[in-house]
Structure 1
Amino acid sequence: MTNHVLITRWLNVFPELAELEPETSDALSDAVRFERLRRGDVAYFQGQLCQNYVMCIEGQTRVFKTSESGREILLYQVGPGETCVLTTSCLISGNPFPAESTVEADALLATIPSNVFHRLMSASPKFRHYVLSNYGDLLSSLIMLVDEVAFASLDLRLARRLLAEADSRSIVSKTHQQLALDLGSVREVISRYVSEWERMGWVRSSRGSIEVLDEAALATYGLSGTEIPRPVLRLGSQS
């Protein structure tokens, strides 16, 4: 695929760039580089310096934090038309990447070198507004995650995650282990909740996926968790 075609795709996925000053658009088009990553590739290691402003054209990456005990928790995902809030933060502050980013679905990324990013942040009010506005939106989603982890129990977070991850066929294409990693829990606890919800007719669990059968019940549970009895965990903890 030629660079011209890639630039066209990039601009189609990020239409806001068309509103930049002509000289800024030209500078971005001259500097942009495209990178293809395969599922399972590491996009950023924890502690790595950020050399580029990253914009996702296709595919998806996941950004997560790992505790000293090896427990993971998903911070956020980056999909088409989105940028990485931690990469932006690192470029602005000069600090290393504080988490890890891996590829969930084969990705095509547009990258802007840090020297060009900083030059345009200083020279272009429109580019600066775009970056900071986007950064603010993404930061809000991180605050929501902190709120959810701090104040919502694991079962409520799992119910919400299943609804958020379900595709047009109501299928969540993740294993119990993957959901546990996303939520900072362990597979056994996730499996207990899923098994109980399957018994209640809310979901159907298959190898490598979960089908949401009763979206309304799961949504009600995810909002309050008080109107419908929760599954009883006899062994282990909820997180």
Structure 2
Amino acid sequence: MQTAHQIERWIERFPLVRNFSASHLQIARGNVHFPVLESGAIAYELQGACANYLMCIDGRTRVFRMSETGREMLIYKVGAGGTCVLTTQCLLSGGGFPAQSVAEARTELAALPADTFRQLMRESDEFRDFVLDDYTKLLTAVFDLVEEVAFAPLEQRLARRLLVEADADGIVWKTHQQLASDVGSVREVVSRLLGEWADTGLVEIRRGQVQVMDRAGLAAGRLN
């Protein structure tokens, strides 16, 4: 059962809800629910059925595919204020998920059941425009990632990932294995690169984290 506070947080994170007509707002509020995923929890599984349109209020999930050899390939991540392009695709097509998703941190979601999603898509111009616009932007981001993995050198991909993941203090709270999964590589290669960068002062390696010491150097590609 949703609370007034959860509804307020949802509307604050997704202002389009305020633009719903009174009847559509009533439909949305009457059917939305707010699952919470702890870090490491599964959001959805490969080939699983899509039961809800997911909107991330807080936290972050990662969407990825796993190869037969156990190598993980990141497709994209969904953070606060974002939606999941594969959820949209599956609801529109009626198919199962072509990837899987897990929470990287404690994550609060707003979930609109499939029937509610389809009704709002038919009846609400505001909701339909939001979904399709967001879907287009996310698809563009996915293609950018595919292009990066296919054509950008590993050193460049790893540097970009460190800059994206670093917090205000320059700390990336990830293991070498997690970073390797993010950039489509293996732990041994990522560890070697980080070791080389540590020797030149670009980063500092700590247990379970990497400290970015020279953001400008990483951004400029001074990696050797």
| TM-score range relative to shorter protein | over 0.9
The Cα shift of 1:173 comes to 0.5
Whether the aligned pair in 2 keeps the contact of 1:21 and 1:126 (CA below 8 Å) is no
User: Residue in 2 aligned with 1:12?
Assistant: 12
The Cα shift of 1:20 comes to 2.4
What aligned pairs does 1:84-163 form with structure 2 within 5 A after superposition?
84-163=84-163
Count of aligned pairs: 224
Q: Secondary structure at the match of 1:109?
A: strand
The Cα shift of 1:22 comes to 2.4
Whether the aligned pair in 2 keeps the contact of 1:180 and 1:187 (CA below 8 Å) is yes
Could you list the runs of 4 or more consecutive aligned residues of structure 1 that deviate by over 4 angstroms after TM superposition? none
Encode CA deviations 1:97-127: one digit per residue, 9 max, x unaligned: 0101001101111100001111111111111
1:23 equivalent to 2:32? Answer: no
* C-alpha spacing 1:199/1:47, structure 2 compared with 1 (3 Å): same
The Cα shift of 1:13 comes to 1.0
Whether the aligned pair in 2 keeps the contact of 1:64 and 1:75 (CA below 8 Å) is yes
RMSD: 1.2
1: distance between equivalents of 2:93 and 2:223?
A: 47
2: distance between equivalents of 1:102 and 1:2?
A: 23
1: distance between equivalents of 2:215 and 2:79?
A: 24
TM-score normalised over the length of structure 1: 0.91
1: distance between equivalents of 2:106 and 2:223?
A: 40
User: Residue in 2 aligned with 1:237?
Assistant: none
1:181 equivalent to 2:173? Answer: no
Q: Which amino acid aligns with 2:76?
A: Y
2: distance between equivalents of 1:199 and 1:36?
A: 41
The Cα shift of 1:2 comes to 5.7
Q: Secondary structure at the match of 2:97?
A: coil
2: distance between equivalents of 1:53 and 1:156?
A: 34
Give percent identity, aligned residues only.
49
Return 5+ residue gaps in structure 2 as ranges. Answer: none
The Cα shift of 1:229 comes to 6.0
1: distance between equivalents of 2:125 and 2:11?
A: 19
TM-score normalised over the length of structure 2: 0.97
Q: Secondary structure at the match of 2:164?
A: helix
* C-alpha spacing 1:193/1:94, structure 2 compared with 1 (3 Å): same
Q: Which amino acid aligns with 2:66?
A: T
The Cα shift of 1:90 comes to 0.4
Encode CA deviations 1:16-64: one digit per residue, 9 max, x unaligned: 2212222222211111011111111111000001010001111111111
Whether the aligned pair in 1 keeps the contact of 2:2 and 2:33 (CA below 8 Å) is no
* C-alpha spacing 1:192/1:23, structure 2 compared with 1 (3 Å): same
2: distance between equivalents of 1:93 and 1:74?
A: 23
